[in-house]
Amino acid sequence: MKILVCVTSVPDTITKITLTDNNTKLNKAGVQFITGPYDDYALSRAVELKEQQGGTVTVLNVGEADAEPVIRKCLAIGADDAIRVNAEPTDAYFVAEQIAAVARENSYDLILMGRESIDYNGGQVHGIVGEMLGIPSISPVMKLDIEGSTAKITREIEGGHEDLEAGLPLVLGCQEPIAEWKIPNMRGIMTARTKKLTVVEPAGKDTLTQISSYELPPARGACKMIPAEEAETLIRLLRTEAKVI
């Protein structure tokens, strides 16, 4: 079984975000980048499936050279090789176009990715990739087992869960608890240095959206401490100032 895992390189969740170019771009100076947390779940499940059933796991990232440390970490976790499309991930359609081009060329049985990235939180790429390839796309997937050429899936829906079966190939957007995050060990880190990382140029340049500007959330207001015995004061402030009751 050939598995393709698509990963994003995103700012660490504790990063202090600043903007540049008239508030149209992220200022990358001093920013620590990590694998998208939902992508980590997808990669972990892919490695488990490879260990259980054999096959290969390829990591794909659409990004520039500064994403390579994130890619190498994925190789250390257990991916066999990696592909980096040498382009800035400008929007969901462009990224999906690159993933679809790589998938067509290599004929993967299973394409996994996170349900969404944590920088834009669009949750669009898996659906667009499925449409471009003419194969099913399902998200958010919480459980995945493969039996022969059939995927047995549990996904989250409003108010509950849904159990599905779908034939391979297909595209899945993953979330917890599909697998537990894996931490690379020293052997994995050492072998990752010699694993193949292929850099390819983008297949197309169809960017359908442009960023007008970003806006940081307003600064937090001052915190008022109310003594426990002054419940009436707390209620009054919640009603007149916070206006939440």
pLDDT at 121: 83
Q: What percent of the chain has pLDDT over 90?
A: 69
pLDDT at 224: 84
Residue 130 placed within a domain: yes
In a domain, 241, yes or no: no
Query: Which parts of 118-158 are beta strand (E)?
Result: 137-147, 150-157
- Any domain includes 237: no
Query: Residue 7 maps to which CATH number?
Result: 3.40.50.620
pLDDT in tens, 135-168: 999 999 999 999 999 999 999 999 999 999 999 9
Q: Name the domain count of the chain.
A: 1
Residue with tokens 């067509």: 104
Residue 177: asked if its preceding bond is cis (omega within 30°), the reply is yes
Mind listing the pLDDT tens digit for each residue in 98-132?
A: 999 999 999 999 999 999 988 888 899 999 999 99
Domain range holding 130? 2-220
Q: Residue 233 domain-assigned? A: no
Is 242 a member of any domain?
Answer: no
- pTM, rounded to two decimals: 0.85
Extended beta strands in the chain, E state: 2-6, 9-11, 19-20, 25-26, 33-35, 56-63, 81-86, 110-114, 137-147, 150-157, 160-167, 170-174, 197-200
Task: Find the mean pLDDT for residues 15-28.
Answer: 86
Residue 225 forms part of a structural domain? no
Q: What is the pLDDT of residue 189?
A: 92
165 domain residue, yes or no: yes
Helix (H, G, I), strand (E, B) or coil at 12: coil
